[in-house]
Amino acid sequence: MAARAGIEPVVGFLQVCVMAAASEIAKADDVQIRTQKFGELREVVEAWPKLTPELRAAVLAVIRSAKERQTV
């Protein structure tokens, strides 16, 4: 169903983006911290298709809430 809905290609694209960004960040001074953060991001991207719609909504709500707090 996910492939039919077009979700799987997006997840694959996001995984490639994470890997590309991680390789660029590896050139920075704070490699260890950034690598850990990208590892966490990779976990989220890989788990996303397996999450229920309710959990996806909750994750997005937390992200949006954090973004709102940063702009205040």
Q: What is the pLDDT of residues 6-30, one digit of tens each?
A: 555 667 777 777 777 766 666 666 6
pLDDT value, residue 54: 93
Distances (CA, A) of 10 to 7, 19, 32, 45, 63: 5, 14, 27, 10, 19
Residue 38: what residue type? F
Rounded CA-CA distance 52/37 in Å is 24
pLDDT band for position 1 (50/70/90)? very low
pLDDT value, residue 55: 92
Question: 0.85 exceeded by the pTM?
Answer: no
Mean pLDDT of the chain: 75
